[in-house]
Amino acid sequence: MKKIIKFEKNDCNPCTMVSDLLDKKGVEYERINPFDNPEIAVKYRVRSVPTVILFEENEEIKRTIGFKPEEINEIISMM
């Protein structure tokens, strides 16, 4: 089973742009604020937002940092 986790901050414009793209494509994803959940950010080695990670069977298979529509669309196509 594949899933997407998006690390974001509420006042981050690129984070909103990533959410808009994922929402427009109808993709389900989990949102995590790394500042509110530092232990999760450390676990997944997240150092900046937005970070989008695709997992399959709890193993990371693709990651993108920032608003990069081509890479986000690649992640979506891998779902």
Give 22-68 as a 3 state SS string: HHHCCCCCEEECCCCCHHHHHHCCCCCCCEEEEEECCEEEEEEECCC
Annotated catalytic residue: which of 3, 9, 12, 17? 12
Annotated catalytic residue: which of 5, 15, 41, 75? 15
Is the pTM of the predicted complex or chain greater than 0.75? yes
15 is catalytic: yes
**Domain ranges across the chain:** 2-77
Looking at residue 72, its pLDDT comes to 97
CATH superfamily of 2-77: Glutaredoxin (3.40.30.10)
27 is catalytic: no
Looking at residue 61, its pLDDT comes to 97
Mean pLDDT within 39-59? 97
Encode pLDDT of 17-26 as tens digits. Answer: 999 999 999 9
